[in-house]
Amino acid sequence: MKAIARLVSLVSLVGTILPPVLFFTGHLDLDATKRWMLVATIVWFAATPVWMDR
C-alpha cells in the first residue's frame, strides 16, 4: 500500500511541474496548466500522508 502511495506521490509531483513546462514550450494553454496543477495537488495531498511522517 505504502509503495503504491509513494509511486502515486511521485507521479503527482511530476504532474505539478510538467504542465508549467508544457505551457512554457507552448504545448498547453494556461487554463489547462492550472487545471492539471490542481489535479496533481489534490493527488499529492491524498497520497502522501499515507506514507510520509507515519
Partner 1 sequence: MADDTRTQHVEPVDEYEREPVPKRALLGFSSFVGQYAGEHTAGTELMIGPLFIASGVSAFDVVGGLFAGNLLAVLSWVFLTAPIAVRARMTLYFQLEQICGRKLVTAYNLANGVMFCFLAGAMVTVNATAAGVWFDIAMPGLNDVYPNSVGWVITVLVMGVLMTIVAAYGYKVVARIANIAAPWMVLVFIAYGIIGARQLGITSVGEFWPKAQELIWTGGAPLAGRTKFTFWHVMFFAWFCNMAMHIGMADLSVFRYARKSWHAVGSASGMYLGHFIAWLAASILYAQQLHATPGNTDVLPGPLAYNAAGVAGLLCVIVAGWTTANPTLYRAGLAFQAILPSSSRYRVTLFTGLLATLAGMFPAIAMKLLDFVALYGLVLMPMGAVIFVDFWLARSFRFRPNYAAASGIDVNWAAGLAWVLTLAGCLAVVNMGGIQIYFVGLPGWFAAAALYIVLSRLMQRKEVRL
Which residues of the chain form contacts with partner 1 (CB under 8 A)?
12-13, 16-17, 19-21, 23-26, 30-31, 33-35, 37-38, 40-41, 44-45, 48-49, 52-53
Which CB sits closer to partner 1, 3 or 45? 45
Report the nearest approach of partner 1 to the CB of residue 7 (Å). Answer: 15
d(CA 10, CA 16): 10
Report the nearest approach of partner 1 to the CB of residue 9 (Å). Answer: 8
C-alpha cell at 13: 509531483
C-alpha cell at 28: 498547453
Q: Please report how many Cα atoms fall inside a 13 Å half-sphere around the Cα of residue 20, on the Cβ side.
A: 7
